[in-house]
């Protein structure tokens, strides 16, 4: 594992990508100063893993390399050194009704002091749960537990907390963050998965890879180009296709699925926005436009009485015209670590019916 960063330098480059000059530090606001580039180097065994990060103009680029070439080229353009407050990012997941048996991973090991991500973002993890046992385990692994009351409908409770958590008193702490990452409770950082892009980077710099994909996920929010960033579904491309799959799996009643189709038809939704895998979401948490769209998403689920959230996600974005960025599923920062425990045997019963 990479050691502590040996240096952190924040530099103003003479020329940004696309030909735009970043301007002097004195002329920029504190928020804009976040859009300066910096280089940090981590010692990884016998090799030097250099991560070059630049956040300005055309985007937030993170590139990992195992030589000092990038750092040397960047050093030539360095004109001054300066520190600033790192962007605060809340990361949360929701585990209710014993749908997950364990805390997904150690927040401390993934984002804590000494990790590449900690040099770019101040990440605080919140595990939202209705279980005292889960809350205690999360605390030992670097998460800040948020306790929910036990509900007779834990899956519905999980969905509501995922979608409109900003409206819940228990999650009031998240209002102190502008950027909030969410992932489902059975997911975690892409650290062990074999992935084509990992061929560019040596195995010992997987944390730099994680830094890259999370940084690129947050990029549109930092640049205020979007209020929400999400990822495309790996298998299906339309809400109609998702509805057929949900019907086949019997995950919602036929009547509720008919209501979903009727709602979209009545509103004139063209179903041409693709299909999201909503297991990972990055949001500008306090954006009024974002919150309106999230309320619309949840309201559509309640109105149709189908808790399969992917059926109404794009519909809500389209209806409320929220600024969004859809990324490819290959860039997913959080992979599936295990299957849901399925305490109510919903999927097992569905499999039996289809057999």
- pLDDT digit string, tens, across residues 199-247: 444 545 677 888 889 999 999 999 999 999 999 999 999 999 999 999 9
Residue-by-residue pLDDT tens, the chain, 355 positions: 443 333 333 332 333 333 333 333 333 343 333 333 333 333 333 233 344 343 333 333 444 443 344 444 444 544 344 456 899 999 999 999 987 888 999 999 899 998 889 989 999 999 999 999 999 999 999 999 999 999 999 999 999 999 999 999 999 999 999 999 999 999 988 764 444 444 444 545 677 888 889 999 999 999 999 999 999 999 999 999 999 999 999 999 999 999 999 999 999 999 999 999 999 999 999 999 999 999 999 999 999 999 999 999 999 999 999 999 999 988 888 988 866 555 445 444 443 343 3
Please give the domain boundaries of the chain with CATH numbers for all domains.
Answer: 5-77 (no CATH), 86-355 (3.90.550.10)
Q: Kindly report the CA angle at 7 between 5 and 13, in degrees rounded to 5?
A: 125
DSSP 232: B
CB atoms within 10 A of CB 219: 20
**How many Å apart are CA 115 and CA 125, to the nearest integer?**
15
**How many Å apart are CA 311 and CA 90, to the nearest integer?**
26
**How many Å apart are CA 308 and CA 95, to the nearest integer?**
17
């Amino acid at each position: 594992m990479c050691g502590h960063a040996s240096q952190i330098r924040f530099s103003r480059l003479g020329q940004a990508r696309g030909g735009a000059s970043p301007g002097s530090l004195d002329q920029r606001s504190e928020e804009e100063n976040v859009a300066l580039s910096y280089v940090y180097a981590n010692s990884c065994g016998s090799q030097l893993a250099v991560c070059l990060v630049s956040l300005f103009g055309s985007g937030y680029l993170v590139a990992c390399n195992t030589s000092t070439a990038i750092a040397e080229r960047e050093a030539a353009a360095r004109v001054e050194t300066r520190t600033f407050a790192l962007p605060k990012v809340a990361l949360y997941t929701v585990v209710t009704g014993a749908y997950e048996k364990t805390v997904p991973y150690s927040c401390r090991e993934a984002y804590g002091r000494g990790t590449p991500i900690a040099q770019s973002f101040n990440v605080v993890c919140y595990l939202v749960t209705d279980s005292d046992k889960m809350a205690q385990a999360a605390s030992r692994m670097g998460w800040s537990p948020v306790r929910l009351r036990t509900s007779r409908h834990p899956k519905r409770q999980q969905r509501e907390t995922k979608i409109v958590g900003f409206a819940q008193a228990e999650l009031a702490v998240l209002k102190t963050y502008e950027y909030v990452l969410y992932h489902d409770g059975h997911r975690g950082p892409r650290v062990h998965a074999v992935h084509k892009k990992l061929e560019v980077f040596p195995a010992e710099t997987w944390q730099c890879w994680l830094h890259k994909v999370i940084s690129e996920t947050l990029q549109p929010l930092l640049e205020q180009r979007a209020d929400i960033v999400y990822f495309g579904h790996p298998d299906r491309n339309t809400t109609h296709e998702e509805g057929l799959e949900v019907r086949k799996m019997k995950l919602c009643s036929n009547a509720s699925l008919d209501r979903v189709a009727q709602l979209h038809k009545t509103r004139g939704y063209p179903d041409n926005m693709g299909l999201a895998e909503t297991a990972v979401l990055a949001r500008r948490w306090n954006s009024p436009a974002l919150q309106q769209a999230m309320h619309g998403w949840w309201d559509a689920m309640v109105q149709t009485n189908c808790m399969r959230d992917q059926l109404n996600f794009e519909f809500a974005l389209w209806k409320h015209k929220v600024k969004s960025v859809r990324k490819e599923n290959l860039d997913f920062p959080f992979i599936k670590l295990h299957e849901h425990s399925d305490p109510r045997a919903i999927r097992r019963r569905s499999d039996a019916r289809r057999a």
